Structure formats: structure tokens, C-alpha cells
Structure 1
Amino acid sequence: MKELGKWQIISFASRSMAMLLGLVQTFVIIRVLSVGEWGVIQLAISIGGALGIYQHLGLASASTREISSAEDDKEVFKIFITSAVIRYAITIPIAIGLFFAARYVAVDIYKNEILVLPIKIYALTLIFQGVQSILNSVISGTKRFKQLFLYQIAIAAASVVIFIPLVLTYRVNGYFYAFFMFNALSSVVLSYIAFKPLRGSMKWPSNADFRRLFKEIFSISMAIYLVKIIYTNWEKFGSNALGLFNSPEVVAIFAFALLYAKKLMSISDAVTDVNLPVLSEKYVKDFADFKKLFTRNFDKIFISVIAAAAFASYWAPEIVSLVVGGDKYDKSYTLIPPVIFAFILYSFINIVKSSVLIPAKMVKHMIISFVLLLAGTAAFFFASYHALGALPGMAWGMAFGATASFIYINIAISKKLKFSFFNIDHLAILGQAFAISMVSFLPLYIKIPFFVVVFGMLIWAFFIPGYLTKSEVISGVNYAKKFVRALKK
């Protein structure tokens, strides 16, 4: 538990630093561009992302699972080559098709010629993106977490340096010039990190090796591939659906709320980087310890996500106004609480997927839960569009879909694996956090003292079921003091 927790904390710290740099980059760009220009960028990314997801084939998670149990470095390299060949058999046709269909998609479907060049650049960028997740699998699967986390910080800093000057100079097109350059750089750096320790072990797989590895990797990767497609379309559903019958400004308002809420994923993403290789091995070797380790670890992750989400929701108007400047995106304020709630639940879904569903190969239940995620969102939106309006309908639709998916996962794990990780205590704390998010529009002179009260009650709620203990707080404070002293030296 301590070793797993240590790497999760380090992973979260590195992702937090990367996220901070990403926020600086994003909000500088938002300040520079008009709402309409930002909407065009988000629409182009949504179009490209909805197609680009089809290249993944679930290979990253499946490869990580196989690499974590590989016998030697030669086997690791063979797994990489097998996965890369499969990946590019899909990526190259998609990139070519999107490149040559750019004008048709931009002009004939979305009636916006400005989208042509961004879509073409996105298509070319897919070539570089194709290999990145597999290279990442090599690094995480061999448990070289330190190198991976340092890379995350460094590449985030490089992103700021690349994006801001190009956007300032070329605006919308500059964003996509930077997008291409950033992904090219990422692929080169990841290749160096992944392959440096494998020098002398880079042996091309034989036909027999390829067939064997293909079968092993694909035993679960197609299910992961399908749910990745569903998730991406769930995430892009708001922008894509709203963009069909609303202005780019409306798309931008929703995309901004989504962008703000999605930052919560940095916590669950940091956890999955470590959990997938560690818990996949634990599930096979000691199931009883696996259940204990996951349940205790989930409680710690749960309170971390809840605390971050409650803070982000409560102070959303002030944070957005400060970093964006003025009231350019004030229409997104009412959308942020339900969208954050959706991403709270999706963070838990993401953690359970990598920690339980993939190690246990619960393929059918994983697929059903993600179908509910997208179908529930779409059904709620179309049912409530006229009553609530387009933007609120979409925001609450995402929350509804995430709720349906998470409930199903809990039921499936309880029935098949005979253990439960989410109970009435979790539900009470979740409800408390959501209530906090709904009072974010109080006047500032009331919000400041009220913050002390409501967050004090929330933290106290963490102690009641034992999700947080006094000894853990003391240990954390002592660790922070040691860290500060080390920095001073």
C-alpha cells in the first residue's frame, strides 16, 4: 500500500505541475483569441478527436498489462513492435482519409471553411500521436515511473513555449501549427526514454512471436478500444451535437465548462499510470490482497477527487474571472457544477476500469457501463433540450450518463467479484460536495467565511468513516516539512 501510494502521490504531483503549466497555456490562449476563434479550435479538435480515437485499438492498456509481466527486455521490444504494427495499420488510413476529406467535412457538413487547414494539420499529427501511447506503455509497463513523471513535466513546459508564440502570431492556424510541432517533439522524446534501456535487446519478432503476441494483446484490447471510442465520443458529444445547430460561441461556452471540469481527470489519470501495471500483477497472484489493496486505495483517491472538485466548483466564478479576464465566459458558470459532477463520477469509473475491470477481464461489463455513459447522456439531452435549453440540457445530460454508468459498475463488481468498494459513506460525502458546488454564486463577502465552515465540515466527513486519519495527516505534514527543508538546501 505504501509503495503504491508513494508512486501515486509522485504521479499526481508531476501531473499537477503539468496541469498548472497547461492551465497557464490555455488561459493565455483564451485571453488572446475571441470566443468564436476558440469555438473553431474546439470544433476542429472534436472532429479530429472523434476520428483519431479509432487508431488506438486499446493497445496502450493491453500492452502495459503484457509488458508488466514480460520475462525480459527482448520480449518487451517484441510487444512494442507488434503493437506498433497493428496501430499504424489503422492510423495511416485514418490520417489519409481525414486529410483528403477535410474540405468536405469543413464546408459541406459544418459550413465553415476556416476549419479546412486545422483538420488537415490534425490529420498529419495523427501519424505522430499513433506511437506515443505505446511508447508510454513501454515506460510504465517496465515500472520506470520516475522517468515517465519527469517527462510529463518537461513536455508540458515545452508545450507552453511552443503554443503561445504561434497562437499570438497566427491565431487559429497557429494553434494547429503548434499542435503538430508539440506531438512530433513528444514522439521523439518518448522514443529516447523508452528505448535507451533496451539497447542490445531490440530483436524483431518472428512470425510466430507476432501471432502469439497478437493473440495475447487482443484478448482484452478490443474491449478497451471500444470503450475508449465511446468515452471520446461522450466527451466530444457536447461540442459536436451543439455545433450542428448552434453558433461557435455556444460551442465555446460549453467547451470551456468541459475544459474546466476535465482538469479533475489529472487525479485519476495519475492513479491509472501506476495502478494498471501494479494491480494487474496483484490480481493474478493474490486476489484477497488485491481486493484489500484496491478498496483502501480507492478511499484515499475518493477523498482527493472530492476535495479538489468541491474547491473547483465553489470558487469557479472567481477562478474563471481571474484567469480569463472579465466576463467573457460567465455563461459557463451554471454549467460547471453538473459537468464537474459528471467528471467526478467518470474519474471513479476510470480508476475502477484500470484497477479492476481490466485486470479481471470483465470485458462485457466494461462495455455495457460505457454504453450507458454515452447513451444516458444523449437520451437526457434530447429529452430535456426544449425544457432546459441546449447548454443546461447537455451539462446535466453528462451528469446523468456518468451516474448510470457508475451505478452499473458497482453492481457488476459486487455480483461477479463478491466485494464492494462504494458504500453509503461515499454517497453521503459525494452529496455533501455537490451541495457545496451549488452555492458558488453567493456574494464574495459571504463566500469567504462560509468556505471555512463548509470545507471544515467536508474534511471532518472524511475522518468519520476512516478515509482519512489523524496519523496520516501528521505523517503528511512531516513529509511536507522534510520536502521544504530539502528544497532550501
Structure 2
Amino acid sequence: MNQRLETLQFFGLITKFIMIAFSLVQSVIVIRLLSPQEYGFIGLVLAFAGIVGVYQHLGLGVGTLREVSLARDEQEASKIFFTSLSVRMLITLPLVFGLLLFSSYITNTIYHRPEILFGTRLVAFTILFNGIMEIVFNVLNGLQKFKQVFILQILNSAVSMLVVVPFVFFLKYDGYFIGSLITVILFLLIYVLSLLKVFGFRLLAPNKSEFKKIFRAVFGIGIFIYIAKILYGLFMQSGILILGYYSTPDTVGYLKFAIGYGFYLLSFSNAVNYINLPVMSKRFAENVVFFKESFKDNFHKFFSLTLFAAGFMTLFSKEAILILAGRNYLPAQPLIFFSVLAFFFLMIFEILCGCIFLPSSDTKGYISSYSILAVATLGVVFFLVSRGGGATGAVAAMFLGAALTFVFAIFRIFQKLSIMVADGKILIMSLVCLPLLLGGLVNMSLYERLALLAFSLLLFWFFTKYLGILNLIQVLRSGHEYAEKPGDRTAHPGDRMKGLDSGYHLHSD
């Protein structure tokens, strides 16, 4: 029964990797066209957007996904879409207006960077259109139109690269925001047309009582996601915002590069969580014993693969910087180790949220974990950066916050469900991948690092086979059977309250 979940996860990961490829090409070109200072300007503006944008969510995207996945038919799904979109606009429009109104004060008075005023105003409109697109995206996922969503995601990444790069070439960092806004508007129209086609170009509005009922159902689970998004936003943006106040744009640019490098690890959790949660929520409601068994089996695979990927990223960080950004960004290399580990722990924590906390309705553990993530990171960032810790202090604080969150989460899960997350298999695979992680801190030649990689690959292959962790051949063989199955969206009305769904993105649009 795990084959369908693993197959959908596999295709989700393939889609994400293709998107990463386009994103990498775009990032490489943009970084090489801009100086570290100009790239730091982009980082500051996106940090503003991250803080402001998170307040529009109210958990509506995730709540919408769950309710649509339980809808009996497209008519009911249409009413859920109408309700969620209406609430989103009531929240987003005042936020966008506020950012436009105070953009001059933020850029000129607080940060003394008038160069980013234009980008800050443009990003306000990007927040608006992204807010709409998130709702549409989650409705399509809730309807389990996975193939359609996968294709649109890939096209979005490709077009973004083709649009953003020329604008950056001619207009520098302002061109980044112009190109991004054009891409968002274009694909918002495409997503909306795709959804309307699914609905037969008939959008039904709920009556007053239906609106209230849907709002309570969506917001009832969404409030916890909303709080988590705010806390996550503090984790992600506090380093750049505080460092931007105390340091130079060049240093902010190095930190942004290091964070962006580690952030690619989140592609794993982003790609599979919107598949994990509908499946794991149903399994928890039907059979807790099978739920625990399937989680352990699936978790071992993802932990092993992503930890090895993290080790690879650390071991060859110097070569990655030279290829992606050039020698101007080599000062960012000491930041890579902490950044990669921070996002590895965060990625594993998000998998735990998607597979354990929300399906089991452990909202207390969910919010407590995110509180630790935000408070620990924010406090340590301010303490270290304000005392001259610079970019190293900021990224080390992110690592500490993510590691503490992971430790708390595994203890909480054991306490509530008696699931030993960090078991013997996890410990063994951690030891297998440890040389790769530490190799990035040691001054070794390229040939020595390649030899270490070969040795680690041999160990990885042996222990995954010996421990029975990976069986990707079976997943691939079952792909043709499951890839096109839409799944069962029918649910008993009472099932709506049997757990929460983490949805697609626990942390961002």
C-alpha cells in the first residue's frame, strides 16, 4: 500500500528537480550579472516580502487543500474555492496597500537604502497575485490533478528563467522584480483558466450558511498553519533583516547566497508533503498501527537520501560556488556548512509535520516546535549579529534553531505516539554520511574529496541494502500503475474532523 504514496512522491520529486534545474540556471545567471551588493538588495526586498506576505495566509492554502480533497464533487470544491479566495482578498489587499504606503519609510528611513524602493513597491503586487495563485494551486492539488500541476510547475520555472534573466541583464536588480511580476501574472492567468476548465467554467458561490460552514472548516485547521507560517517567516528572514541593519549589503549578499544554497534541501519536503498528508491523514484515521509502520518505512528512505545529499552539498561547496556564482562569492563558503545543516534539520522537521503532527491532530506539538524554531533563532541571531558575529553568527543561529526544533519534535512524537523517530537505522545512516558532512570543513584537494565521495557511496549502498531502506526499483516499476490514478476524493462527512493536513507548502507559497 506504500507503493502508491512512494510513486506519487517520486514523480513529485522529479518535477521538483526539473524546477530546481531551471531555478539554478536562473540563479547562476542572475548572480553573475549582479554584484554581491546588488544581490544583497534583492535579498533585503525579498525579506520584506517574506515578512509581509506571511500575514496574508491565515493557513488558507493548506485548509483549502484539505477541504477540497474531502469534497464530494466539483460543485462543492467550487464553493470552497470561492470562500477561500474571498477571505484571502480581505486580508491581502490591506497588507499590499500598507506595504505600498510605508515602502518609502522602510527603505529610506529604516534601512537608508533608497535603491530598493522600486523593487519593494513591485513586490507588493507580486504578493497580491501570489496569494491568489496559492489558493488556485491548492484547489488543483486537492482535486488530485497532480499531472496537470506537475506540468504547470515545470513550465512556470522555465518561463520565469526566460523572462527574468533578460530583465536583469538590462535593468540589473530592478529587472529581477519586473520579470518576476510578469511571470506571476502570466501563470496566475494560466492556473485560473486550468481550474475553471476543471469546473466546467462554472464557478458556484456558496450561500451565507455554506460560506460560514466552509470558513469554519478551512480556518479551523488553517489557524495553526497560519501561526506556524508567521513563526517560520521569523526563522527565515530574521538573519537577513538583522544583518542588513548592522552590516553591509555585500555581507547580506553572501548570507543570502548561503541560505539559498541550503534552501534547495527543502525541495524534498516541498515536493512530497502535499502528497504525504492526504494519505497519512487517512491512514491515521483508519489504522494507527499501519500508519506507524508506513511512516517508519517511508521516513528511513527520505532521511537517508537527503542526508547524503546534504553531505554532497557540503563536500563540494567550493566548486558549487565557483560554478554558480564565481569567485566573488567565495567568502560565503564558511557559511555553507551551517546553512546546509540548518535546512536539513528543517526539512526533516517538515516531513515530521506532514506525516505525524498534523495527521494526528497534535497541534500543540506542531505550534510548540515552530515556536522553538522562531524564538531560538531570532534570539541567537540578534545576540550574535549585534555583537559582531556577522553572517556567520546569523547562519549559525539558524542551524541552532532548526536543530533544537528537530530534537524537540522527535521527543514529542515519542511521547504522544510511541514512535521512535531516531532509531538504530537513522543512527547508522547518520554515521555513514558524517564523513561527507565533515569533509566540507577540511582543506582537501578535489581528488581527495572525490575519493571520500566514492568511499561514502560504497558505504551508503551497502548499508541501505543491508538495512532494507531503499527499494526504488519497485517504486519505478509500479509507476505506470499508479501515476494516473486520481485517487478517491469521497469522504464521509465525519472524516473532515479526523485530523489535519499539512498540505503542499508548510512554509511558503
3-state DSSP of counterpart to 1:60: helix
Partners of 1:388 and 1:166 lie apart in 2 by: 36
Which letter does structure 2 place at the counterpart of 1:110? Y
Q: After the TM superposition, which of the residue ranges 274-283 and 94-103 deviates more from structure 2?
A: 274-283
Distance 1:122 1:387, change over 3 A: closer
Question: Following TM superposition, by how much is the alpha carbon of 1:431 offset from its aligned partner in structure 2, in angstroms?
Answer: 4.8
Structure 2 match to 1:466: 468
Distance 1:121 1:11, change over 3 A: same
- What is the 5 A alignment of 1:205-354? 205-325=206-326, 327-354=327-354
- Alpha-carbon deviations, 1:2-39, whole Å to 9, x = none? 11111100010011001100000011000011111110
- Alpha-carbon deviations, 1:349-376, whole Å to 9, x = none? 1112122222222112111101111222
Contact 2:6 2:475 in 1 (8 A): no
Residue 83 (1) aligns with residue 84 (2):
yes
3-state DSSP of counterpart to 2:172: helix
Distance 1:182 1:200, change over 3 A: closer
Which letter does structure 2 place at the counterpart of 1:223? F
Larger relative contact order (Cα-Cα within 8 Å, sequence gap ≥ 6): 2
Distance 1:66 1:478, change over 3 A: closer
Partners of 1:428 and 1:268 lie apart in 2 by: 22
Question: Following TM superposition, by how much is the alpha carbon of 1:292 offset from its aligned partner in structure 2, in angstroms?
Answer: 2.0
Structure 1 match to 2:504: none
Question: Following TM superposition, by how much is the alpha carbon of 1:320 offset from its aligned partner in structure 2, in angstroms?
Answer: 1.4
Contact 1:64 1:138 in 2 (8 A): yes
Q: After the TM superposition, which of the residue ranges 15-24 and 306-315 deviates more from structure 2?
A: 306-315
Partners of 1:382 and 1:114 lie apart in 2 by: 25
TM-score when scaled to structure 1?
0.93
Q: After the TM superposition, which of the residue ranges 124-133 and 7-16 deviates more from structure 2?
A: 124-133
- Alpha-carbon deviations, 1:432-483, whole Å to 9, x = none? 4344222224111322222211332234333343323xxx265579899xxx
Residue 137 (1) aligns with residue 138 (2):
yes
Distance 1:376 1:328, change over 3 A: same
Structure 1 match to 2:505: none
Distance 1:50 1:77, change over 3 A: same
Which letter does structure 2 place at the counterpart of 1:376? A
- Alpha-carbon deviations, 1:56-80, whole Å to 9, x = none? 1111111111111111111101111
Unaligned runs of 5+ in 1: 481-489
Partners of 1:337 and 1:387 lie apart in 2 by: 22
Question: Following TM superposition, by how much is the alpha carbon of 1:49 offset from its aligned partner in structure 2, in angstroms?
Answer: 1.4
Contact 2:33 2:169 in 1 (8 A): yes
Q: After the TM superposition, which of the residue ranges 12-21 and 452-461 deviates more from structure 2?
A: 452-461
Question: Following TM superposition, by how much is the alpha carbon of 1:314 offset from its aligned partner in structure 2, in angstroms?
Answer: 1.0
Structure 1 match to 2:393: 393
- Alpha-carbon deviations, 1:66-117, whole Å to 9, x = none? 1111111111011111111111111000000001111000000000101111
Contact 1:337 1:434 in 2 (8 A): no
Question: Following TM superposition, by how much is the alpha carbon of 1:430 offset from its aligned partner in structure 2, in angstroms?
Answer: 2.9
Partners of 2:92 and 2:284 lie apart in 1 by: 32
- Alpha-carbon deviations, 1:297-332, whole Å to 9, x = none? 11111122112111111111112112323x111111
Unaligned runs of 5+ in 2: 480-509
3-state DSSP of counterpart to 1:11: helix
Distance 1:113 1:383, change over 3 A: closer
Question: Following TM superposition, by how much is the alpha carbon of 1:199 offset from its aligned partner in structure 2, in angstroms?
Answer: 1.3
Structure 2 match to 1:410: 410
3-state DSSP of counterpart to 1:421: coil
3-state DSSP of counterpart to 1:242: helix
Distance 1:200 1:377, change over 3 A: closer
What is the percentage of aligned positions where both structures have the same residue? 28
Contact 1:264 1:344 in 2 (8 A): yes
Partners of 1:140 and 1:478 lie apart in 2 by: 24
Partners of 2:76 and 2:357 lie apart in 1 by: 25
TM-score when scaled to structure 2?
0.89
Query: Between Structure 1 and Structure 2, how many residues are aligned?
Result: 476
Which letter does structure 1 place at the counterpart of 2:217? E
3-state DSSP of counterpart to 2:439: coil
Distance 1:212 1:367, change over 3 A: same
Partners of 1:224 and 1:478 lie apart in 2 by: 36
3-state DSSP of counterpart to 1:203: coil
Q: After the TM superposition, which of the residue ranges 120-129 and 29-38 deviates more from structure 2?
A: 120-129
Contact 2:300 2:425 in 1 (8 A): no
Partners of 2:472 and 2:54 lie apart in 1 by: 41
Structure 1 match to 2:70: 69
3-state DSSP of counterpart to 1:329: helix
Structure 1 match to 2:500: none
Structure 2 match to 1:453: 455
CA RMSD of aligned residues (A): 1.9
Partners of 1:383 and 1:355 lie apart in 2 by: 34
Partners of 2:407 and 2:434 lie apart in 1 by: 17
Partners of 2:158 and 2:235 lie apart in 1 by: 29
